Homo-oligomer: A and B are copies of this chain.
Amino acid sequence: MKVSLNKRILNRNDECAQKNKAFFENHGVLCLNVISSPGSGKTTLLSRTILALKNKLKIGVIEGDIKTDTDAAKIRATGAAAVQIETQGACHLSAVQVHDALKQIEAAEKDVIFIENVGNLVCPSAFDLGEKKRVVLLSVPEGDDKPIKYPGTFAGADVILINKMDLIAYIPFDLDRVLTDIRKINPHARVFQVSAATGEGMQQWYDWLCDTIA
């Protein structure tokens, strides 16, 4: 019973995700679904990316949080458009919530829509939002065992950003082990080592983004 109902919820989500996907394709908009644990640096990543590329690309951000519009306010401070979805307890965004936000953010006019999912390394990976690519962050302070402990989320990524590389001197973190574990789970994802806070390594991410749009 539980399984069949969960399947029904997922099917309903997938139907709407297909609508979102068609919308993005019809309007030539690149949509990226950004997933990580709480505090891995998703908002900092997006803020720095907007500041670096805003003269080149029209960027909009859909923010998912359980509570507060803190993150949307941070994004707006960079000059980009942002819509906040407060999930009121729900642990992930749904395709319907994204669909409802598209008009408000004037998505059809944008080059890129980032969806910053609720901070959660588990549940968001089960819900297709209609994105073209999925971006997963792992921050150095979370530890080097996270890919093998949360394999589903890492397996579904098109890009994996190892963030907060500026903290690696202060924390035991076996980078070689992480890179090896990621390759076993996901041989195809692009992996970039960055610090969204300092800007270190971000150029390769910007290049990937611009190449993916082109």
Contact = CB atoms under 8 A, between A and B. Distances in A.
A91 B170 contact: no
B148 A68 contact: yes
Interface stretch (A21-29, A119-127, A186-194, A199-207): A119-127
Contacts of A70: 145, 148-149
Contacts of A146: 38-39
A38 B142 contact: yes
A89 B123 CA distance: 9
Interface in A105-146: 118-123, 139, 141-143, 145-146
Interface string A1-21: 110010001000000000000
Most buried by B among A39, A121, A143, A164: A39
Interface string A21-58: 00000000000000001110000000000000000000
Contacts of A38: 37, 121, 142-143, 146, 149-150
Contact of A37 (B5, B37, B89, B123): B37
Count of identical protomers in the assembly? 2
Q: How large is the interface on A (under 10, 10 to 19, 20 to 34, 35 or more residues)?
A: 35 or more
A119 B38 CA distance: 10
A149 B68 contact: yes
Contacts of A149: 38, 65-68, 70, 119
13 contacts: A37-B38, A37-B121, A39-B141, A65-B149, A66-B149, A67-B148, A67-B149, A68-B145, A118-B122, A119-B121, A120-B121, A167-B167, A167-B171
Given A67-B150, A91-B123, A119-B121, 14 more contacts: A1-B5, A2-B5, A37-B37, A37-B38, A37-B39, A37-B119, A68-B149, A70-B145, A120-B122, A123-B123, A139-B141, A141-B164, A167-B171, A170-B170
